[in-house]
Amino acid sequence: MDLIVALKFGPWSLEPHRCLLTSSDIEKELDPLSYKLLSYFLACGNKITTRDELAEHVWGQRYVDDNAIYRAISELRKHLHHPDYTQPFIKTHHKKGYSFTARVSAHHQEPLLNEVINDLPANIELLEQSVLANEPELVAVKKSSMQRYVVAGFAFLLCIGVLAWGIFASQTMPTTQQAPLLTQAHGDDKLGDSIHNPSITWEPGAEYNPLISFDQAFFAYRNNLNGLDHSYVQRVSDQYKIQLTYRDKNIDVLSWQAQSHQLLAAVSDELSCDFVVFNIASFPDLIEPTVLIPCGRLLNNSAQLSANNQYLYYVKPIQRLIKTSIYRYDLASGSEIELIPPRDLYGEVLHFELSKDESKIALFTADFKTPMHVGLFNLESMSYQTLLNLEHNYYGFAMDWTLDDQELMIADQNNFYHINVHSLVVRKTELASNLNPYYLEYESSNSLLYTPFIERHAGLVQFTDLFSGTPTAGGIPIYQSDMHSYNPVVSKHSGIFFASNRTGTHELWQGGQGELKKISNLNDIDGVLGPIRESTSGDYVLFKQRERLKLIRLSDQELIEINELPDKVCRYYWSDNTIIYSLDTPDSSQIWQFDLVLRKHQLLAENGGRSLLVNELGKVFYIESNVLINIETNERLTLNLPSFDPNFSIMTAQYLYVHDAIQFIYRVNLLTGDVNKDSLVISPGEMTINQHNNSVIITKFTLADTSIKRMVW
């Protein structure tokens, strides 16, 4: 029987044709991405491999988001973990890349050679040369006949070829296809004066999320006015319009059921959120909607009901608000499954669209640091692939299927894409620069409905009567401007610091005692600045600009870089002569302390970095599963809070303040555990506590008035 050669490193043997790692009685089947990544490391030997090289040879793209590479490396390290081997197989070289540390050798096994001989690719030189260079004295199986050596040698080359095939021809791998190269169609268009885009709605407020029924008999949409969401349905034939109502709850329309006049929506109040279905067939005399299941907290605009009423597809957080994925709920059995493993996602699912035949799901994923990715999930094969990396939009919902499910329509600022999901051919059209669709809905072969990008204005408001039992009335505006003001922090002495682009660039400002002055000269037109932290002495302020932490000395407004701190810091605080910070990586939420005097780092905790909190006494905490944990003492306090966003939380020695990023703010007494709640009547962002007058200053977001338009070409 002919021999086939596997590759051996450390305690492991890799069987390429089976994508299988074996060691004694341990077997691990590799997912396609991990297999391709390991194959490339084996091909490169001990040399350092850059992220660009990984993007090109493993993902087949010129650019891949760092988070995706981190996730893939982390997943491969988990596969390679062995109970009897403590040395790391993959070494990280700071700002250089990665290298494979183990020596690779040939290892002989006895499955049939003929099973894989027909799959031998032409391009085997890379792995052949690499393994021969790293293992010059390959030990052959001892046979009396020279012919057996020849066969074994050929089998070794065959094994190398299979590995190379795994890198350069991954289209045959099951379940997950990584970022196929889309073919650019010839004859791309540029539309400008040929586009007609009249408004089809005209009420006050931000009108968005246009939805057309399958027969184009009805048109539904949302309206946000003064921070309150309303939903409307219009009969197209006579333009008759009604507002959807249900028990004084907020109503957000989400999607039409295929081939039906059933309209899926989320209804919510301060206590609950539920998915419901309105039957629009009896328009305008509608009955109460049918309640399906609770939706917890309304995170975004994505949920769809299958045509047979069996499945509900929706987005929900994987762990608190750290990441979101798509789930399918069986309304008959009451069971729920997660459709896309988190490791396959670039960031979190922001929006998705179910195809009319319910065989595919198109989706946007976002990490809010790079432009969005377009993905496609096949419900029949349960496989996921990335179709396109956008060039501009970090956030948005401009995606829809054509009526025949053959193409996806995607808007990315003024770029408009038609992607054929079968041939993977993309046709790109350049729109007039002032269009910039934020939502879109397919109408016909030469028309669609869209909402232009909705501008959110950020301003500062002060509340002095929260938790008093009286209405707050939306707070009192401070330091008003027609430009943005955001991320306030109260100074330890007097006044506040905040960020603003009121002079045309994003800068730091200091206000107090009737004065307002700019304290930075960053000249950053586009880069929104991160939260501001004042030093204990009051001599410096710490902030984040384009993922890097920086200092400004207040005495002379000098900008100081902190080169020892890593990129992509998540949360951060000042404590005496140290900076407490956490890392923002897919596989790590560590909390660190950096000593500004000794210039040394110290690991404080392996977990909790995404909800890091530090009070004015320098005590470090984090929140895990609704429990507040003191890192130093490990004391724990159950918070008994409903949904909240840990990104918007602030702590004093006595109280913890958090809000849900939608409407409600909570105050937890850390001594008694009592919880107070109030309604802000605004869309809130970063906040700060003014202990001088017991007030709260919050970034308030206001949606600009906008209408839904029809684009005709």
Instruction: Write out 200-235 in H/E/C secondary structure.
Output: CCCCCCEEEEEEECCCCCEEEEEEEECCEEEEEEEE
Residues of the chain with pLDDT under 50: 1-4, 109-188, 320-321
Instruction: Count Cβ neighbours within 10 Å for each residue of 417-451 and write b for 16 or more, e otherwise.
Output: bbbbbeeeebbbeebeeebbbbbbbbbeeeebbbb
Domain boundaries, the chain: 4-177, 184-454, 456-703
Question: How far is it between the farthest Cα atoms of the chain?
Answer: 97
Q: Give the pLDDT score at 361.
A: 96
Domain at 184-454: CATH code: 2.120.10.30
Whether omega before 289 lies within 30 degrees of 0, making that bond cis, reads: no
In degrees to the nearest 10, what's the CA dihedral of 703, 704, 708, 713?
-120
Q: How many CB atoms sit inside 10 A of residue 245's CB?
A: 14
Q: Give the pLDDT score at 697.
A: 94
131 three-class SS: helix
Amino acid at 473: A
Distance between CA atoms of residues 378 and 66, nearest Å: 25
Q: Which residue has the tokens 């109030």?
A: 678
CB 406 within 8 A of CB 420: yes
In 3D space, the residue among 267, 277, 262, 265 whose CA is nearest the CA of residue 218 turns out to be 262
CB 315 within 8 A of CB 323: no
Distance between CA atoms of residues 647 and 626, nearest Å: 14
Instruction: Count Cβ neighbours within 10 Å for each residue of 200-218 and write b for 16 or more, e otherwise.
Output: bbeeebbbbbbbbbeeeeb
User: pLDDT, tens digit, for every residue of 386-402?
Assistant: 999 998 888 889 999 99
In 3D space, the residue among 646, 637, 622 whose CA is nearest the CA of residue 671 turns out to be 637
CA distances from 191 to 106, 314, 707 (A): 59, 35, 21
How many Cα atoms occupy the beta-carbon half-sphere of 638 within 13 Å? 1
CB 681 within 8 A of CB 456: no
CB 425 within 8 A of CB 183: yes
34 three-class SS: helix
Strands 636-638 and 627-630 come out as antiparallel
Q: Where are the alpha helices (DSSP H) in 314-432?
A: none
User: Taking the alpha carbons of 154, 156, 157, 161 in that order, is the dihedral positive or negative?
Assistant: positive
CATH topology of domain 456-703: Neuraminidase (2.120.10)
Distance between CA atoms of residues 217 and 350, nearest Å: 28
Tell me if domain 4-177 and domain 456-703 are identical in fold.
Answer: no
Give every CB contact of residue 46 below 8 A, 6+ residues apart in sequence.
99, 100, 101, 134
- Tell me the whole-structure pTM to 2 decimals: 0.63
Question: Is CATH 3.40.50.10420 the classification given to domain 4-177?
Answer: no
Instruction: Write out 456-499 in H/E/C secondary structure.
Output: EEEEEEEECCCCCCCCCCCCEEECCCCCCEEEEEECCCCCEEEE
Chain mean position to CA 117:
42
Helix (H) or strand (E) holding 128: helix 125-134
For residue 459, the cross-strand partners are: 700
Q: Which residue has the tokens 């309303």?
A: 230
Residue 355: burial class (beta carbons within 10 Å; 0-12, 13-18, 19+): buried
CB 656 within 8 A of CB 641: no
Q: Where are the alpha helices (DSSP H) in 2-113?
A: 32-44, 51-54, 66-80
User: pLDDT, tens digit, for every residue of 75-100?
Assistant: 888 888 887 787 788 888 866 888 88
